Structure 1
Amino acid sequence: MKRNRLVYSGLTVGVLVLGLASRRLGTYLPSFINAYIGDTLWALMVFFGIALVFSRQPTRIVALMALLFSFSIEISQLYHAPWIDAIRATRLGALVLGFGFLWTDLICYSVGIAVGALIDYQLVRSAKR
C-alpha cells in the first residue's frame, strides 16, 4: 500500500485553507459549528499530513500517530513558560500550539482524525481496484 503523495498534499493544503477560512468566516456558521470546526479541521489536516509523510503506513497507524501528535500538542498547553508563551503569541505559534487546554479539543481532534481515517480508507480501497 502506498498513498498518492500528490493527492494527500492537495488534501492537506485544502483542509488548511478550509481551517483558515473557518476563522475568517466563522460568524456565518452556526455557533456550535463555529466553536469546534477549527480544531476538528486542524486534526484532519494533521492526519492528512502524517499520511503524506508516512505514505506506506496503514490507516490505523497514521490515525494513532495523528492522535498522539494532536493530544501531545493539547497537553503541552498546560505548560506555560515565557519562551513557549512567546511562541504562542505569534500567529503561526498560536495556530500550531494553541493557547489553553480544553477537554473539548480532544473530542474535536478525535472526530477530525476519524473523518480522515474514513476518507483515507476509502481512497486506499479505491486505489487498490
Structure 2
Amino acid sequence: MNKTRINYSLIFLSIILFGILSRKISFIPLWIGDFLYAVMIYFLVRVIFPSKKFFFIILLSLFICYCIEFLQLYQSEWIVDLRKTLFGRYVLGQGFLWSDILAYTFGIAIAFITEKSFLKYYNHESRFRIKQQK
C-alpha cells in the first residue's frame, strides 16, 4: 500500500471514530453525523481510487451517498430488519430526509476543499524543501 492510500485510510478511520462520537454526544446536532458520513465516503473513495481526478471522486462520493439515502425509501422486510442492526443503522441509515442530502453535499464539498487546500500547502512545502536542498 502506498503512502497516499495509508494517509487516506487513516483519515477514513478517524472520520469513522468522530462520526460515532458525534452520535454519542447529545449536544452535537444530528446533521454533523451525516456530514461526517459524507466526508468518510469521500475518503473511502480516495482510498480505492487515490490517483483519480477530483471530479470523479466528488461525483462517485455523491452518487454513493445519494443512493444510500434514496435506498431508505425502500421498505422491504429484509432491509428493514437489516437496518435494525448496528451495522445497518450506521451504514444504511433509518429514514429518508432531504436534509441528509444537503449534509452529504456539504460534507463532500468541505472534504474536497480541505483536501485541495492541504495538497496545495503540501506541494508548496515539498517544492520549498527541494529548492533548499539544491
Tell whether the structures are fold-level matches, with TM greater than 0.5.
Answer: yes
- Partner of 2:33 in structure 1? 38
Match of 2:40, SS state, is helix
Match in the other structure for 1:86: 81
1:1-129 mapped onto 2 (5 Å cutoff): 4-25=4-25, 27-29=26-28, 34-128=29-123, 129=127
* Structure 2 Cα separation of the partners of residues 35 and 94 of structure 1: 14
| Counterpart residue identity of residue 62, structure 1 | I
1:3, distance to aligned residue in structure 2 (A): 7.5
Whether the 8 Å contact between 1:15 and 1:45 is mirrored in structure 2 is yes
8 Å CA contact 1:3–1:51 kept in 2: the answer is no
Which of the pair has the greater relative contact order for Cα pairs under 8 Å at 6+ separation?
1
Work out whether residues 69 and 92 of structure 2, in 8 Å CA contact, stay in contact via their aligned partners in 1. Answer: yes
- 8 A contact 1:3–1:55 mirrored in 2: no
Query: In structure 2, how many angstroms separate the alpha carbons of the residues matched to 1:90 and 1:121?
Result: 36
Seen in structure 2, the aligned counterparts of structure 1 residues 120 and 73 have a Cα distance that, compared at 3 Å, is same
Structure 2 residue ranges without an equivalent (≥5) = 128-134
The residue identity in structure 1 corresponding to 2:4 is: N
Deviation at residue 127 of structure 1 after TM alignment: 4.5
Which amino acid in the other structure matches residue 82 of structure 2?
Answer: I
Whichever of the two has the greater Rg, that structure is: 2
| Residue identity in the other structure for 1:86 | D
| Whole-angstrom CA distance in 2 between matches of 1:126 and 1:64 | 24
